[in-house]
Amino acid sequence: MATLPILQHEEKIIETVNQNHVVVIIGETGSGKSTQLSQILHRHGYSNSGKIAVTQPRRVAAVSVARRVSQELGVHLGEEVGYAIRFEDRTSHNTHIKYLTDGVLLRESLADPELNDYSVIILDEAHERSLNTDILMGLMKRLVKVRSSDFKVLITSATLDGNKVSKFFTDCPVLTIPGKLYPVEILYSKERPSSYLESSLKTALDIHARQPEGDILIFMTGQDDIEKLVSKLEDKVRALEEGSCMDAIILPLHGSLPPELQVRVFSPPPPNCRRIIVATNIAETSLTVDGVVYVIDSGYVKQRQYNPSAGMYSLDVVQISKVQANQRAGRAGRTRPGKCYRLYPSRVYDVELLDATVPEIQRSSLAGCVLYLKSLDLPDIDILKFDFLDPPSSESLQDALKQLYLIDAIDGNGAITSIGRKMAELPLEPSLSRTLMEANNYGCISEALSVAAMLSAETALLSAPGRSKTERKRKNPVTNLPDGSGLGDHIQLLQIYECWDQTDYDIGWCKDNGLQVRGMLFVRDVRKQLSQIMQKIAKGPLDIRANGKGEEFRKGYRNLRKALCTGYANQLAERKMHHNGYRILGFQAQVVQVHPSSVLKADELGKFPDYVVYHELIATPRPYMRNVCSVEMRWVVPIINKLKTLDVYKLSGGVEHVEEETERNLPDLPKKDAEVAASSDDRESRIQAARERFLARKGKK
């Protein structure tokens, strides 16, 4: 323990922190920043006047590091040392050291903008440049001015450009902890492999057969690839001749790994056994596994990328940056000299890889971020001029304002509305928050809560750990899950939850239906938490029983779908006249499809509903709407009218464009306006068709 580099600089750190409000600490990954810094400050009395907060961009890192620190201090997790992540708070009144995601700290600052609970805030893993950490940096800059001198901010990072951050914080000191890194030999592939999965497999087996002991760490892009590679490795290792080489255990490591499997990665291997760890970029800097000597670097990472003009996310496998490549290589030299096998030629590294990763703020939808900043209500903060380390593009800020306007979170002048203020209190994306607010008006809050909770846990729901989708299907050939009554996926999610509620939360029922038990229990817990927040916002008791109402009420789920339509006004699609492709309202013309996994039903003519809202629009690489729900045209019309009168300049709180009031020719939204106009003919004929259907029905009666 005493050898961790950061502990050798304890005095220097304390001295610098004593004399400064803000200190940047740069130290090699594994030098002890995440686990030791909080303890050092605690030892020197910094937790006497408040808690020490350490933020992490990743949930799993917050949990894992907190667990480690509680072990080192010999205390129960959740007591002196605890953690808080979205929907899970494991702290108590005597918690001194609190690990939390950057998102949770942002949320806490809504309730207490000065964060008076904390004497020290450590923004850890700042090099990840997560959106939330970037916002926090801006807030901290303000907070150190507002709060008294005993408030300290530390910013730690493995690779961050320290000078840039130091400048941002008016030239605060930068402490660099010299790392103890052994030389790492870099071996490049001659060519880029046709399959990096196969190439990783082969390289790993070669190392295992020929190289001396030492664990292997393989960087893959995501859970799917990891699971595939793990199972291939297991087969191959099992097939190796007995006694031909040492034993090997294969371990996956990624963000959605259940806790009990995560722990395995950190427990030491049995003697004469090599570990092969197959990880996402989570093992790049957030989590350090000891014993790694060989690194296999695919050169790729999975990255979410938002395109503000299309309103669409894409989840792309992209090349890593040079910084990431060096981080990955560095993992091989922590305990002794190591080797890094780059599955790409050196020219790719030299010529193609970007120097640094693009910060998340420049590739995310900013609706949540802007709503948050607007609701802070700080007189000295102006969103569009907010002090960011790297500012987002004005296009994505305007996109965020437009979205918030459509869901009534801000008014036509860009000022936050009372609805917007309430929305910000919910730890959900803006569309779901808005849906909950509206559902409360329509008497279907309990249904909306179930939907929101199910969507918040959705990824964890249907995938049993360590099992591929095909295997799961084989295991559970028939399930009796409800089908959403043809109305769509939100309704199905609601029905699933209600069925489960009627079994009195029977675990066997989940298993019988191929639902992950842990996921469903999580949903129940999330639902409870959301209910509590909603009761607080509504300032009174609500009817939140999951099965509180009769059949009649449920028919057609009209109220719920209406609430969803208001909530997802920024995620609304109109079907093309002659086929089942949809066009997103308010965004660039692009035809998108309903995801094949959707339970949305077509009518007897094979047509999907005219209008749907969707939870997520993602290019994979074809653009699909995931989780869709059918809505009615009469609910959509007011939203279309709103789109027509939208003035993005006014929303920005900027100059008013009086002269353009009549001639709607906004340079930022030319396509959209043309689109609205072009499709109004469509809409006319739809209205006509609906009228005729209505008259026909009336005639029959």
The residue among 183, 170, 109, 510 whose CA lies nearest residue 334 is 183
Query: Of the candidates 453, 467, 463, 468, which has an alpha carbon nearest to the alpha carbon of residue 514?
Result: 463
Q: How far is the CB of 237 from ligand ADP (least distance, A)?
A: 24
Pick 268 or 540: Cβ nearer ligand ADP: 268
34 or 362, CB closer to Mg ion? 34
Nearer to Mg ion by Cβ, of 101 and 396: the residue is 101
State the nearest-atom distance from the C-beta of 353 to Mg ion, in Å. 23
Distance between CA atoms of residues 645 and 210, nearest Å = 69
Q: Residue 9, interface with ligand ADP (CB under 6 A)?
A: no
Cα separation, 677 vs 666, whole angstroms: 14
30 touches, from ligand ADP, Mg ion, none (C-beta below 5 to 8 Å by class): ligand ADP
Nearest 5°: the CA angle 389, 391, 394 is: 170
35: contact with ligand ADP by CB under 6 A: yes
Of residues 71 and 479, the one with the C-beta less far from ligand ADP: 71
431 binds, among Mg ion, ligand ADP, none (CB under 5 to 8 A by kind): none
d(CA 596, CA 581): 12
Question: Both tokens of residue 701?
Answer: 């009666």
The binding site for Mg ion (CB under 5 A) comprises 33-34
Among 21, 42, 58, 68, binds ligand ADP (CB under 6 A): 68
Closest CB 387 distance from ligand ADP, rounded Å: 27
Q: Which is nearer to ligand ADP, 77 or 499 (CB)?
A: 77
The answer to whether 319 contacts ligand ADP (rule: CB under 6 A) is no
34 binds ligand ADP (CB under 6 A): yes
Picked from ligand ADP, Mg ion, none, the partner binding residue 119 (CB below 5 to 8 A depending on kind) is none
Choose the stretch contacting ligand ADP; rule: CB under 6 A; options: 63-71, 89-97, 506-514, 587-595.
63-71
Mapping DSSP onto H, E and C, the string for 160-175 reads: CCHHHHHHHCCCCCEE
Min dist. Cβ of residue 4 to ligand ADP (A)? 6
Which one of ligand ADP, Mg ion, none is in contact with 185 (Cβ closer than 5 to 8 A by kind)? none
Q: Is 33 in the site for ligand ADP (CB under 6 A)?
A: yes
Of residues 30, 50, 338, 519, which one binds ligand ADP by CB under 6 A?
30
Q: Which of 16, 17, 29, 160 binds ligand ADP (CB under 6 A)?
A: 29
Question: Smaller CB distance to Mg ion: residue 283 or 340?
Answer: 283
Nearer to Mg ion, 33 or 328 (CB): 33
> For residues 123 and 52, is the Cβ–Cβ distance under 8 A?
no
Q: Rounded to whole angstroms, how far apart are CA atoms 288 and 493?
A: 37
Region of 25-33, 342-350, 473-481, 487-495 interacting with ligand ADP (CB under 6 A): 25-33
| Cβ distance to ligand ADP smaller for residue 65 or 404 | 65
Q: Which of 32, 333, 368, 392 binds ligand ADP (CB under 6 A)?
A: 32
Q: Taking the complex as a whole, how short is the minimal distance between the CB of residue 61 and Mg ion, in angstroms?
A: 7
List own/partner pairs for 229-236 with CB under 8 A and 24 or more apart.
Answer: 229/197, 229/200, 229/201, 229/278, 230/278, 231/468, 232/197, 232/201, 233/201, 233/204, 233/205, 233/276, 233/278, 236/201, 236/205
514 contributes a contact to ligand ADP by CB under 6 A: no
Pick the stretch among 31-39, 350-358, 384-392, 621-629 that binds ligand ADP (CB under 6 A).
31-39
In the block, residue with structure tokens 């609701």: 375
* Strand ranges across the sheet with 338-342: 184-188, 338-342, 292-297, 215-219, 273-279, 247-253
Least distance between Mg ion and beta carbon 282 (Å): 11
Closest distance of CB 438 from ligand ADP, Å: 43
Q: Show the CA angle centred on residue 336, arms to residues 330 and 339, nearest 5°.
A: 50
Query: C-beta of 32: minimal distance to ligand ADP in Å?
Result: 4
Show the beta-strand stretches assigned E in 41-167.
51-56, 81-85, 88-90, 97-101, 118-123, 152-157
Residue numbers 536-575 binding ligand ADP by CB under 6 A: none
**Could you give the CA distance from residue 7 to residue 242 in angstroms, rounded to a whole number?**
44
Instruction: Give yes or no for residue 127 binding ligand ADP (CB under 6 A).
Output: no
For the residues of 446-469, what is the DSSP string, one character each?
HHHHHHHHHHHTHHHHS--TT--H
Q: Is 324 in the site for ligand ADP (CB under 6 A)?
A: no
Q: List Cβ neighbours of 35 (8 Å cut-off, separation of 6 or more).
A: 65, 68, 69, 72
Using CB under 6 A as the binding rule, whether residue 64 contacts ligand ADP is answered as yes
Element at 12 (helix H, strand E): helix 10-19
| Smallest distance, ligand ADP to C-beta of residue 25, A | 9
Question: How far is the C-alpha of 80 from the C-alpha of 92, rounded, in Å?
Answer: 8
CA distance 529 to 426: 10
- 254's contact among Mg ion, ligand ADP, none, with CB below 5 to 8 A by partner kind, is none
Distance, in Å, from the CA atom of 521 to the CA atom of 193, rounded to the nearest integer, reads 42
Compute the least distance from the CB of residue 55 to ligand ADP, in Å.
Answer: 12
* Binding residue for ligand ADP, selected from 200, 203, 288, 566, defined by CB under 6 A: 288
Among ligand ADP, Mg ion, none, the one that 288 touches (CB under a kind-dependent 5 to 8 A) is: ligand ADP
Residue 64's binding partner, choosing from ligand ADP, Mg ion, none, with beta-carbon cut-off 5 to 8 A by kind? Answer: ligand ADP
CA-to-CA distance for 338 and 656, rounded, in angstroms? 62
Q: How far apart are CB 126 and ligand ADP at their closest, in Å?
A: 11
Provide, rounded to whole angstroms, the least separation between the CB of residue 125 and Mg ion. 6
* Cα 162 to chain centroid, rounded: 26
What DSSP string runs through 395-422?
A: HHHHHHHHHHHHTTSB-TTSPBPHHHHH
Q: Determine if 129 is a binding residue for ligand ADP (CB under 6 A).
A: no
Give the residue among 519, 522, 527 at the shortest CA–CA distance from 449.
527
Q: Which residues pair with 155 in a beta bridge?
A: 24, 123
Count Cβ atoms within 10 A of the Cβ of residue 588 and give its class: 0-12 exposed, 13-18 middle, 19 or more buried.
middle
Residue with the closest Cβ to Mg ion?
A: 34
Does residue number 679 form part of the binding site for ligand ADP (CB under 6 A)?
no
Among 20, 180, 224, 266, binds ligand ADP (CB under 6 A): 266
Please give the Cα distance from 337 to 536 (Å, whole number).
Answer: 57
Give the whole-angstrom CA distance, residue 542 versus residue 90: 27
CB of 559 to Mg ion, least distance (A): 47
Beta strands 582-584 and 572-575, pairing class: antiparallel
3-state secondary structure of 591: strand
Q: Which is nearer to Mg ion, 34 or 132 (CB)?
A: 34
Least separation in angstroms between residue 285's CB and Mg ion is 6
By CB under 6 A, the count of residues binding ligand ADP is: 16
State yes or no: residue 27 binds ligand ADP (CB under 6 A). Answer: yes
Q: Is 290 in the site for ligand ADP (CB under 6 A)?
A: yes
Least distance to ligand ADP from the beta carbon of 68, Å? 4
- Give the residues lining the site for ligand ADP (CB under 6 A): 4, 27, 29-36, 64-65, 68, 266, 288, 290
